[in-house]
A = this chain, B = another copy of it.
Amino acid sequence: MNNTEKLSKFRNALSKFVEFDALEWEIFCAHIQFSTLKKKEYFATEGKVCTDMGFIASGGVRYYYLKDGVEITGYFSFEHDFVSSYKSFLTGEPCLNNIQALEETELILISKDNIHALQNHPKLAYKMERFGRLMAEYYICCYEDRVTAFITQTAEERYLDMERTAKALFQKIPQHYIANFLGITPVSLSRIRKRTLLQKA
């Protein structure tokens, strides 16, 4: 994908939150960078501070924790999503998780320093605060959905929800990562899939 296409996708994703006029967009674009992760390369790693917020122009990433040497998958993000280890990015504390590319992933990055620069830019200060608020509120809703799912749903119910809301993406994720994300073995996942297929038949 060329950079013009990436920027057009990015501007479109941002427009969910705020619209930038031509001059504002020019200033904004002077503060971003293009980057590509190869499959299995890391966007963020445990113990290091995550200093970038990324927009995924193509590809996808997996968020995971390591506990006693075992990977525990926490989340996935794909094309048109934003990616960051948010708490680390916001607080400057080291990451507790890892974010790894599931496949070759094209990104647009904004560093924390550049976000600060834009928040202090006289032409953009108000809009950047508004953008930041709306984006943070959007992610509060995502996190609340995650917490609600953890508290109220079984692995099977979370599987069905995932299949219903993200079918296309779902098919891109290796099965063992989905099982890991749901907190079950690949064998249990395969059993749930068979059962739900039978129920639909």
Contacts and interface: CB of A to CB of B under 8 A. Distances in A.
Interface of A: 65, 67, 72, 74, 86-87, 90-91, 96-97, 125-126, 129-130, 132-133, 136-137, 139-141, 143-148, 150-152
A147 B151 contact: no
Q: Which 10 pairs from chain A and chain B are nearest by CB?
A: A136-B136, A143-B143, A129-B129, A133-B133, A132-B133, A87-B144, A150-B150, A87-B141, A129-B130, A136-B137
Given A97-B148, A151-B65, A87 B140 contact: yes
Interface of A is mostly: helix
B143 A140 contact: yes
Given A74-B151, A146-B147, A152-B67, A86 B129 contact: no
Given A129-B126, A133-B132, A141 B72 contact: no
A129 B133 contact: yes
Contacts of A143: 140, 143-144, 146-147
